[in-house]
Amino acid sequence: MISRLPRIGDLLRRRKKPAEDGSIIVDAARKATGGKARTRIVMTMAVFFTIYSTIAGRLVYLGLQNPDNSGGPQSRVTASRPDIVDRNGEVLATDIKTASLFAEPRRIVDADEAIEKLSTVLPEIDYEQTYHKLKSGTGFVWLQRQLTPKQQADIMALGIPGLGFRTEKRRFYPSGETSSYIVGLTNIDNQGISGMEKYIDDQGLTDLQASGLAVARDLKPVKLSIDLRVQHIVRDEVATGMERFHAIAAGAVVLNVKTGEVLAMASVPDFDPNNPYNAQDKDRLNRMSAGLYEMGSTFKSFTTAMALDSGKVTLESRFDASRPIRIGRQTIHDFHAKGRVLSVPEVFIYSSNIGSAREAEAVGIEGHREFLHRLGVLEKMQTELPEVARPTEPKVWKQVNSITIAFGHGVSTTPLQTAVGCAALMNGGFLIQPTFLPRTAEQAMAVAKKVVKEKTVEGMRYLYALNAEKGSGKNARVPGFRVGGKTGTAEKVVNGRYSKDKNFNAFVAAFPMDDPQYIVLTIADEPKPEKPGMGATAASNAGVMAANIIRRAASMLGVKPDFSHENGATLVSYQ
């Protein structure tokens, strides 16, 4: 029995081995199965993570992209702008809220049907362009900016899926075309593109808008030097004058000679800034500051002042105007020739081309050119309004140039600069650059430049008053307001030659002549006789317009009428 025991033990051990081996196999199988499961879970999680990452990345990408590949609309509300007001606080420009129509093309079910419905409210809509927008598959496109409240309500009533509205700001101009060239315009994004609107942007408003700091409540109104009451009168008179005298254009400016402030300025044809569909037309030009013209006999103001200021000529000086001046191929003659020797006052009131040429000869070519530059009429004007033209002059001044420039031919400048130069001859001899912002007399003197002597100013005041009494300025007289001035009738250049049928007329008036406060300069471009048999010189049109402006606006400008003298000439003496 004992001898058999080891074999039984061995047998028992052999029987246990399969069991032990089996458990080991089971454990290994279990371990293998668990590893595969974990691998599948990790792989599944990786797949889902990849999918969601892709979706998230795509959403971020789309969010950063401009929805409209053509440089389309921004999602922000249009930036605010400050109000623009006149010197008395009357609003000239302000922001108003408006609705703009947009579409989400991905949500548009039927583009053709949507356009057909929209055209019932917006008949001007471009079918082809709108169709391409609605079929573009983008997330956002503008369809129509700045709708009226009625248009918005009517479109909402159509119930077209995929359309919506955004509130924007647009500019509203209560005075309409009255001050359109001065106030200017903004574009569809409420950014200034002309006039004082552009000036305001250039002074830092654009940077404020870009930084998000242009908040409406923080923007103070911008006050201009313009008096809306006077501006209305000026615009009304030039529009009436253009029609009455059958001109292609007309304009006027009222300038404070003591401060350089522009109180009013208008040019017609003009435009309505609330509906500027024709603002870019060729004939829409601010002729007062951006138009260049040969100013004709108004330049004789500068010629005579130059002669007096040089000390070589006095009011007692005399010039031979008995016969025309021939120089080269040109012959200089007088429109109303007297055929005799003329005194300086006679040269001025008879508007003698020959006498003015003799005055220029007395000063000399270099002195003539220097004086006109000193008065600023041949320099680019420095003012806030962006629309300013640069005057033209001969590259080399010869004798013939000086002679023709003496009576306003051969150089071109702007009417506003002519008014500024004449103001210097009335205000004590100071050149003060014009401004469209309020300016006190003290502030003006701080930037003023002395350009002529006090004695010269006295002489020019006398001549202006005398011309209104006995010369071509009679039509500009206004009882009680002591008006003086000078006419200018210039032949226009057509195809390189002076035309006998097309004139550019101007009249520069100053008042009250005992102590001039204001310059009024009016222009009429290619006027025709008011009636058959009548003339079309500056005295008969530009002079009449100036008188009408002064008659209506003088009291608003603070000038009190004085009826103790019949005309201004007796109030002014020259010693």
- Quick: pLDDT tens for 237-256: 999 999 999 999 999 999 99
Query: What is the structure's pLDDT at 8?
Result: 34
Q: How far from 133 is each of 25, 108, 152, CA to CA, in Å?
A: 70, 11, 20
Query: What is the structure's pLDDT at 27?
Result: 54
Active-site entry in 100, 297, 351, 352 = 297
Parallel/antiparallel/unpaired status of strands 84-85 and 222-223: parallel
- Model confidence at 568: pLDDT above 90: no
CB 490 within 8 A of CB 410: no
Which two structure tokens, joined as six digits, stand for 421? 């130069």
In whole angstroms, give the CA distance from residue 484 to residue 459.
Answer: 13
CB 197 within 8 A of CB 93: yes
Query: What is the structure's pLDDT at 4?
Result: 41
Please report, for the chain, how many H helices and E strands are present, in that order. Answer: 17, 18
In whole angstroms, give the CA distance from residue 88 to residue 93.
Answer: 14
What's the mean per-residue pLDDT of the chain? 87
- Model confidence at 22: pLDDT above 80: no
| CATH superfamily ID and name for 230-573 | DD-peptidase/beta-lactamase superfamily (3.40.710.10)
Q: Of 520, 566, 532, 531, which Cα lies nearest the Cα of 264?
A: 520
Q: Of 457, 431, 458, 428, which Cα lies nearest the Cα of 444?
A: 431
Query: What is the structure's pLDDT at 498?
Result: 87
Query: What is the structure's pLDDT at 207?
Result: 65
Q: pLDDT tier at 347 (50, 70, 90 boundaries)?
A: very high
What is the per-residue pLDDT across 468-524, written as a single tens digit (0 to 9) for each? 999 989 999 999 999 999 999 999 988 888 888 899 999 999 999 999 999 999 999
Identity of the residue numbered 44: T
Query: What is the structure's pLDDT at 67?
Result: 42
Q: pLDDT tier at 570 (50, 70, 90 boundaries)?
A: very low
What is the CATH number that goes with domain 84-223?
3.90.1310.10
Query: How confident is the model over 337-347, as a mean pLDDT?
Result: 93
Supply the pTM of this predicted model.
0.80
Query: What is the structure's pLDDT at 273?
Result: 95
Query: What is the structure's pLDDT at 567?
Result: 47
Query: What is the structure's pLDDT at 62?
Result: 54
Query: What is the structure's pLDDT at 206?
Result: 66
What is the per-residue pLDDT across 383-406, written as a single tens digit (0 to 9) for each? 999 999 999 999 999 999 999 999
Query: How confident is the model over 522-534, as a mean pLDDT?
Result: 92
Q: pLDDT tier at 43 (50, 70, 90 boundaries)?
A: confident
- Model confidence at 29: pLDDT above 60: no
Active site residue 310: no
Domain boundaries, the chain: 84-223, 230-573
- Model confidence at 74: pLDDT above 60: no
What is the per-residue pLDDT across 439-470, written as a single tens digit (0 to 9) for each? 999 999 999 999 999 999 999 999 999 999 99
In whole angstroms, give the CA distance from residue 463 to residue 351.
Answer: 12
Lowest mean pLDDT among 45-49, 95-99, 351-355, 432-436: 45-49
What is the per-residue pLDDT across 411-437, written as a single tens digit (0 to 9) for each? 999 999 999 999 999 999 999 999 999
Query: How confident is the model over 121-138, as a mean pLDDT?
Result: 90
